[in-house]
Amino acid sequence: MTVLSKTVPFVDLTIQHQPLQTAIEKAMETVVKRGDFVLGQALREFEREFAQACGVNYGVGVASGTDAIALGLQACGINEGDEVIVPANTFIATVIGVIKSGATPILVDCDPETALIDLNAAAKAITPQTKAIVPVHLYGQMVSPSQLLDFAQAYNLIIFEDAAQAHLAQREGYTAGSIGKAAAFSFYPSKNLGAFGNGGMLITSDEEVAQNVRTLRNYGAPSKYYHTQIGSNSRLDTLQAAILQVKLPHLSQWNQLRNQAAKKYDQGLQLLADKGIIPIQNVSDRGHVYHLYVIRVHDTCTLNREKLQDYLLERGIQTGIHYPIPCHLQPGYKELGYQLGDFPHAENLCNQILSLPMYPGISSEHTDWVIEQLSLRIS
Ligand SMILES: Cc1ncc(COP(=O)(O)O)c(C=O)c1O
């Protein structure tokens, strides 16, 4: 009989890295030998390979997902005075990216079941200054492409996807990052495709947008020592690209493993629905790549979210909250002029959500242990 480890980490990256260790070391050694650490061969290759995997023409590697949003929006022609719609319940980097592009973020509420941006609420936020919408494919689930395209067409907006949590997610025949004019990805280590440090990519099928980001990431220089814009220093390191190149062929399988683990949670937690434990709704079935598996702990539950989190930790189960404070209530963002009550669904979710352990290769013993412990305490 196997002895069950009572520690269930929130994320365990060693499972995916161990089998690839030799290949990764070799890829790194090749870069070191070549010495092309900045804008090198592995970066050019990985840009091509990642863009192709997402079904678009160009990829431009940058230093982070945040920079991919900021530089990407700028490259799409977004400027000071423009308004850009973003969900209130996203990681703050979405908002930072919009602000860094020079535009004003206009926050809107979300759907309480899927936690994805509510396009009806977005419609009410449109003004003559609205130039773009940044849908966030939150937790690994895409915002409906057909609804987004209709929405953008109705109001003549640019769609710029924040796909930082949704590498190779699918919905309605679209792959994340291929719906709109451009999209941003993050390769933060714990993302579905993660580097050994920070990294990001802007993808697009628009050659001009790609070229603009290449210039912006490289001191605003379209050619050496010739600076047409202020730009910044934001290249994805060749070493990181070489590591990501080794990992990319495994991404689909890792996403499938996440999806399978999520199905186990879904099934196991079904009986707890009438006790106030309800997973965030999956409306895209296998297209959901479950960067995070998130449940809601409703007011009707016998334990509140914090008590439940403490209880699970006592049993070795690490959890997270993504995210505990909505963007409009963050202290550094008071100047945006929002207040408590502006986005009730986003605010409510922030108080209810709990992310369970999720990573490719999480064992059935571990998911079963989580389900069992939750069921024991809640029933
Ligand atoms: C939704 C979302 N947008 C943007 C980012 C920013 O990416 P990065 O941390 O690489 O800057 C992240 C991740 O951190 C994210 O989760």
The CATH number of the domain holding residue 357 is 3.90.1150.10
CATH of the domain at 212: 3.40.640.10
- What pLDDT, on the 0 to 100 scale, is given for residue 3? 44
Q: Is 343 in the pocket of ligand 1 (CB under 6 A)?
A: no
**Rounded to the nearest 5 degrees, what angle is found at the Cα of 187, between the Cα atoms of 112 and 110?**
10
Q: Quick one: 237 and 257 in the same domain?
A: no
Q: Quick one: 86 and 210 in the same domain?
A: yes
Q: Which of 191, 220, 249 is the last residue in one of the domains? A: 249
Q: Which of 207, 224, 249 is the last residue in one of the domains? A: 249
Whole-prediction pTM value?
0.97
Q: Quick one: 217 and 273 in the same domain?
A: no
59, β-bridge pairs: 203
H-type alpha helices, the chain: 14-17, 21-34, 41-54, 65-75, 93-100, 119-124, 145-155, 207-216, 238-247, 251-269, 305-314, 344-352, 364-378
Q: Is 216 in the pocket of ligand 1 (CB under 6 A)?
A: no
Q: Quick one: 244 and 367 in the same domain?
A: no
Q: Quick one: 121 and 175 in the same domain?
A: yes
Q: Quick one: 83 and 156 in the same domain?
A: yes
Q: Is 254 in the pocket of ligand 1 (CB under 6 A)?
A: no
Q: Quick one: 191 and 285 in the same domain?
A: no
175: containing domain: 14-108+116-249
CB hemisphere CA count around 323 (13 angstroms): 16
Q: Which of 211, 231, 249 is the last residue in one of the domains? A: 249
Q: Is residue 1 part of a domain?
A: no
Q: Quick one: 239 and 257 in the same domain?
A: no
Q: Is 240 in the pocket of ligand 1 (CB under 6 A)?
A: no
Distance 164 CA to ligand 1 centre (A): 5
Q: Quick one: 157 and 300 in the same domain?
A: no
Distance 176 CA to ligand 1 centre (A): 15
Q: Is 164 in the pocket of ligand 1 (CB under 6 A)?
A: yes
Q: Quick one: 283 and 134 in the same domain?
A: no
Number of domains in the chain: 2
Task: Please state, in angstroms and rounded to a whole number, the distance separating the CA atoms of residues 187 and 201.
Answer: 8
- What pLDDT, on the 0 to 100 scale, is given for residue 123? 98
DSSP code, position 13: -
Q: Quick one: 24 and 99 in the same domain?
A: yes
Q: What secondary structure does DSSP assign to 208-221, as a single string?
A: HHHHHHHHHTBTT-
Q: Pick the closest to residue 214 from 11, 372, 9, 72 (CA basis).
A: 72
- What pLDDT, on the 0 to 100 scale, is given for residue 235? 98
> What are the tokens at 241?
């690209």
pLDDT tens, N- to C-terminus, the chain (379 residues): 444 447 999 999 999 999 999 999 999 999 999 999 999 999 999 999 999 999 999 999 999 999 999 999 999 999 999 999 999 999 999 999 999 999 999 999 999 999 999 999 999 999 999 999 999 999 999 999 999 999 999 999 999 999 999 999 999 999 999 999 999 999 999 999 999 999 999 999 999 999 999 999 999 999 999 999 999 999 999 999 999 999 999 999 999 999 999 999 999 999 999 999 999 999 998 999 999 999 999 999 999 999 999 999 999 999 999 999 999 999 999 999 999 999 999 999 999 999 999 999 999 999 999 999 999 998 7
Atom nearest to 291 CA in ligand 1:
16
Q: Pick the closest to residue 136 from 101, 185, 172 (CA basis).
A: 185
Distance 91 CA to ligand 1 centre (A): 7
Compute how many other C-beta atoms are within 10 angstroms of the C-beta atom of residue 313. Answer: 11
Q: Is residue 2 part of a domain?
A: no
> What are the tokens at 59?
């990829």
Q: Is 201 in the pocket of ligand 1 (CB under 6 A)?
A: no
- What pLDDT, on the 0 to 100 scale, is given for residue 373? 96
Q: Quick one: 238 and 276 in the same domain?
A: no
Q: Is residue 265 part of a domain?
A: yes
C-alpha torsion sign, points 94, 95, 101, 103: positive
Distance 93 CA to ligand 1 centre (A): 5
- Kindly provide the b/e burial profile for residues 176-215, where b requires at least 16 CB atoms within 10 angstroms of the residue's own CB: bbbbbbbbbbbbbeebbbbbbebbbbbbbbeeebbebbbb
Distance 100 CA to ligand 1 centre (A): 14
Q: Is residue 8 part of a domain?
A: no
Q: Is residue 370 part of a domain?
A: yes
Cα dist. 262→51, 137, 371 in Å?
27, 17, 11
Compute how many other C-beta atoms are within 10 angstroms of the C-beta atom of residue 87. Answer: 30
Q: Is residue 9 part of a domain?
A: no
Q: Is residue 295 part of a domain?
A: yes
Distance 270 CA to ligand 1 centre (A): 31
Atom nearest to 136 CA in ligand 1:
1
Q: Is residue 66 part of a domain?
A: yes
Question: Quick one: residue 156, left, alpha or beta (phi over 0 = left, psi -120 to 50 = alpha)?
Answer: left
Q: Is 66 in the pocket of ligand 1 (CB under 6 A)?
A: yes
- What pLDDT, on the 0 to 100 scale, is given for residue 2? 46
Q: Is 141 in the pocket of ligand 1 (CB under 6 A)?
A: no
- What pLDDT, on the 0 to 100 scale, is given for residue 379? 75
- What pLDDT, on the 0 to 100 scale, is given for residue 6? 74
- What pLDDT, on the 0 to 100 scale, is given for residue 1? 42
Distance 69 CA to ligand 1 centre (A): 9
